[in-house]
């Protein structure tokens, strides 16, 4: 009996060791993004809200277990399954990719926190923004030239160092404050809204989906039925270790900040740990390591996930490694721009709430996928119950806790919904098909310019004021026309919509005019390049590119007389909501086109009708 137990123990340890790497990476990713949040919660509320974080972690653990079941039994990562969900083609991949890009704003804050810790550690006067940009460049070079095994070893090293430093810091902090006093600190100062914000903040982020990629790297093939229990136990033990270490780090930070008092980390840590030998220096070093590693792992995972989704959707002409490096560079540029612009709390809160919504929907997706797993890999009723209850709770919390959803999201969705219904009626009456077929004639082109020009004007008039800024979807009309009729038609629609906006005046009139024209031309050129073969990932990339050009290119270049601070405030407050609005509008537009079987022909305006017909007959 003893020999049997030892054999089982050795086999379990061997299996868990094989998947220790993904577990360590998961622990760094979960802990790194919650590092600052845990420190703030501890200083503000003590340990009184630890129960809320434990609930979040329990739900995340269940979700990670579901990801493991799917990945091992199917031999593919969860992102592959997103492309086969019922409904519009690739809608799941498009939604996750959009949130992954939006979440880069939170990684900008993680980078800045790491840079702040490094500056405090080195006692130098270098600007934090410059240090943050240098950290991004070093991460980019490291991921370009280091293998994946290096990332796993780095995660293990960071966790060991940070764990040891936290134990040392906790012991030093508790020398001055008894532990029972730490437990009872601020125990009755929170309200329901605080709980909502903490739970949605801790639950937000789709980084957990990346765990499926990391497991897939270890097990590239489908696990046979006879080997599944053993392999699954090994992965599950790695998950338990990951979440256990994450809870230890979060609780340790809460204890330290509660003991030394609330306040900014750069001020409270030297004051609270100053009596401990190298206390502040070691704590800042641990903070820097966690932030650096969290950004490195998050950027790498997102680049790999988006690269895989683009390749599965056919939106690529590059080798996988080249596409990965391009995506990695693009993500780093976005993080760098966000650092330069600053981090408005309202935008970050909105992104966290949006991420929580998609995160909750992911739970429902996993419950759906669980029904199609082999019998030996299916989860039981308890897991299904936890996922359904947890996903519903997070969905409600995300909507209730973020006022922007109610003040901006719902009204804007109603406007875009009305526009989608109008497009559907035109498609149902075959007006759009007639315009596409006759866009090379003046009548078809004129009708297309007129109709989508009205949509662009409606995008201006239907804008919603949020914190003093008008969030509009004026670029949507030109992009739709560019997809259907090419760059010339899209540009003419942009001229109409842009001229209407220019008539309103204001210091942003010129960049808005140019950006609206550019939206039609750029979308037409992209549709031309893709030969009219559009999918949800392509229109999502198109919408992001157009809005980034609008905000980051035309707005600063064409407003030389405006105060720089006002330009920057405008850029960072409008980029996220305008991008999300226009991307959702393009996705709904493409859904209507596919539903009514309308094929975009952006090259038809340069060809005679007989040549088009002959080319299509030859292709068939």
Q: DSSP labels for 355-389?
A: HHHHHHHHHHHHHHHHTTS-GGG---HHHHHHHHH
The mean predicted confidence, pLDDT, of the chain is 78
Q: What is the structure's pLDDT at 260? A: 73
Q: Phi then psi for 67, rounded to 5 degrees?
A: -60, -40
Q: What is the structure's pLDDT at 13? A: 47
Three-class secondary structure of residue 524 per DSSP: helix
Q: Is 311 exposed, middle or buried (0-12, 13-18, 19+ CB in 10 A)?
A: middle
- Residue of 339, 103, 291, 308 lying closest to 204 (CA atoms): 103
Collect all residues with Cβ–Cβ distance below 8 Å to 320 and sequence separation of at least 6.
Answer: 307, 311
Q: What is the structure's pLDDT at 193? A: 57
Q: pLDDT band for position 20 (50/70/90)?
A: low
Q: DSSP labels for 182-246?
A: HHHTTTT---HHHHHHHHHHHH--SGGGHHHHHHHHH--SPPPTTTHHHHHHHHHHHHHHHHHHH
Q: Can you list the domains of the chain with their CATH numbers?
A: 15-401 (1.20.1740.10), 403-619 (1.10.1760.20)
Q: Is 75 exposed, middle or buried (0-12, 13-18, 19+ CB in 10 A)?
A: middle
For residues 350 and 402, the answer to whether their CB atoms sit within 8 Å is yes
Q: pLDDT band for position 9 (50/70/90)?
A: very low
What Cα–Cα distance (Å) separates residue 257 from each residue in 28, 48, 239? 20, 13, 27
pLDDT digits (tens, 9 = 90+) for 64-91: 899 989 999 988 888 888 878 776 677 7
Has this prediction a pTM greater than 0.75?
A: yes
For residues 411 and 577, the answer to whether their CB atoms sit within 8 Å is no
Q: What is the structure's pLDDT at 8? A: 43
pLDDT(337) > 50: yes
pLDDT(522) > 90: yes
Q: pLDDT band for position 4 (50/70/90)?
A: very low
Q: What is the structure's pLDDT at 294? A: 86
Residue 439, Cα to own-chain centre: how many angstroms? 38
Percent of the chain surpassing pLDDT 70:
79
Collect all residues with Cβ–Cβ distance below 8 Å to 540 and sequence separation of at least 6.
Answer: 94, 97, 98, 583, 586, 587
pLDDT(5) > 50: no
pLDDT digits (tens, 9 = 90+) for 111-169: 888 888 888 888 777 888 888 899 999 999 988 887 777 887 888 888 888 888 888 88
Q: What is the structure's pLDDT at 495? A: 93
Pick 463 or 188 by higher pLDDT. Answer: 463
Chain length of the chain: 620
Q: What is the structure's pLDDT at 1? A: 41
DSSP bridge partners of 619: none
For residues 24 and 289, the answer to whether their CB atoms sit within 8 Å is no
Residues 162-185, mean pLDDT to the nearest whole number:
71
d(CA 460, CA 501): 7
Taking residue 354's Cβ as centre, other Cβ atoms within 10 Å add up to: 23
pLDDT(329) > 60: yes
Lowest mean pLDDT among 3-17, 118-132, 281-295: 3-17
Q: What is the structure's pLDDT at 341? A: 74
For residues 43 and 261, the answer to whether their CB atoms sit within 8 Å is yes
- Residue of 449, 490, 439 lying closest to 599 (CA atoms): 439
Q: What is the structure's pLDDT at 145? A: 82
Highest average pLDDT, of 327-336, 437-446, 564-573, comes from 327-336
- Token pair 């299904």: residue: 384
pLDDT digits (tens, 9 = 90+) for 488-514: 999 999 999 999 988 888 888 889 999
Q: What is the structure's pLDDT at 233? A: 86
Q: pLDDT band for position 53 (50/70/90)?
A: confident
Q: pLDDT band for position 261 (50/70/90)?
A: low
Q: pLDDT band for position 610 (50/70/90)?
A: very low
Q: What is the structure's pLDDT at 605? A: 46
Q: What is the structure's pLDDT at 516? A: 93
Pick 351 or 15 by higher pLDDT. Answer: 351
Q: What is the structure's pLDDT at 394? A: 77
d(CA 22, CA 214): 5
Kindly state the DSSP code that residue 124 receives in the 8-state scheme: -
């Amino acid at each position: 009996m003893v020999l049997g137990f030892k054999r089982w123990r050795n086999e379990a340890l061997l299996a868990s060791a094989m998947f220790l790497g993904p577990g360590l990476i998961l622990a760094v990713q979960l802990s790194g993004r919650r590092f600052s949040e845990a420190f703030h919660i501890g200083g503000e509320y003590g340990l009184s809200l630890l129960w809320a974080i434990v609930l979040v972690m329990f739900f995340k653990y269940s979700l990670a277990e579901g990801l493991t079941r799917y990945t091992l039994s199917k031999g593919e990562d969860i992102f592959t399954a997103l492309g086969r969900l019922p409904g519009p083609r690739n809608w799941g991949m498009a939604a996750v990719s959009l949130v992954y890009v939006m979440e880069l704003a939170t990684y900008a804050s993680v980078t800045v926190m790491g840079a702040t810790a490094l500056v405090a550690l080195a006692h130098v006067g270098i600007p934090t923004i410059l240090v943050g940009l240098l950290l991004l460049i070093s991460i980019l070079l490291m991921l370009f030239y280091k293998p994946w095994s290096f990332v796993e070893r780095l995660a293990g090293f960071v966790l060991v160092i940070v764990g040891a430093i936290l134990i040392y810091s906790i012991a030093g902090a508790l020398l001055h404050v008894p532990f029972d006093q730490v437990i009872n600190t601020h125990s009755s100062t929170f309200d329901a809204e605080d709980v909502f914000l903490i739970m949605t903040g801790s639950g937000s982020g789709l980084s957990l989906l990346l765990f499926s990629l990391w497991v897939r790297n270890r097990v590239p093939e489908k696990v046979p039925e006879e080997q599944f229990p053993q392999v699954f136990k090994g992965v599950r033990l790695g998950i338990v270790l990951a979440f256990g270490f994450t809870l230890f780090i979060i609780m340790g930070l809460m204890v330290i900040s509660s003991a030394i008092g609330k306040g900014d980390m750069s001020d409270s840590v030297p004051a609270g740990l100053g009596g401990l030998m190298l206390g502040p220096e070691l704590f800042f070093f641990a903070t820097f390591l966690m932030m650096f590693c969290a950004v490195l792992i998050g950027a790498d995972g997102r680049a790999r996930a988006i690269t895989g989704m683009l390749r599965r959707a056919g939106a690529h002409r590059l080798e996988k490694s080249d596409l990965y490096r391009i995506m990695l560079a693009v993500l780093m540029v976005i993080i760098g721009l966000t650092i330069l612009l600053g981090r408005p709390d309202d935008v970050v809160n909105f992104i966290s709430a949006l991420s929580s919504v998609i995160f909750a929907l992911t739970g429902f997706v996993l419950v759906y996928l669980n029904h199609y797993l082999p019998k030996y890999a299916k989860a039981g009723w308890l897991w299904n119950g936890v996922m359904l209850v947890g996903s519903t709770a997070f969905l409600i919390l995300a909507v209730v806790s973020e006022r922007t959803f109610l003040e901006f999201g719902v009204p804007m969705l109603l406007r875009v919904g009305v526009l989608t219904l109008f497009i559907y009626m035109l498609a149902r009456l075959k007006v759009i098909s007639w315009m596409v077929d006759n866009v090379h004639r003046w009548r078809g082109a004129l009708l297309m310019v007129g109709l989508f020009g009205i949509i662009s004007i409606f995008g201006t008039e239907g804008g919603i004021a949020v914190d003093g800024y008008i969030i509009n979807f004026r670029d949507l009309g030109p992009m739709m026309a560019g997809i259907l009729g090419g760059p010339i038609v899209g540009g003419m629609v942009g001229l109409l919509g842009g001229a209407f906006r220019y008539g309103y005046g204001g210091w942003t009139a010129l960049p808005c005019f140019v950006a609206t024209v550019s939206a039609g031309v750029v979308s037409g050129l992209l549709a031309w390049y893709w030969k009219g073969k559009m999918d949800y990932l392509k229109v999502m990339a198109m919408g992001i590119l157009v809005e980034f050009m609008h905000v980051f290119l035309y707005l600063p270049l064409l407003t030389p007389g405006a105060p720089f601070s006002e330009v920057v405030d405008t850029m960072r407050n409008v980029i996220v909501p305008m991008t999300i609005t226009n991307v959702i509008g393009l996705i709904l537009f493409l859904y209507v086109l596919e539903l009514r079987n309308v094929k975009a022909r952006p090259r038809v305006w340069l060809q005679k009708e007989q040549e088009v017909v002959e080319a299509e007959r030859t292709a068939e």
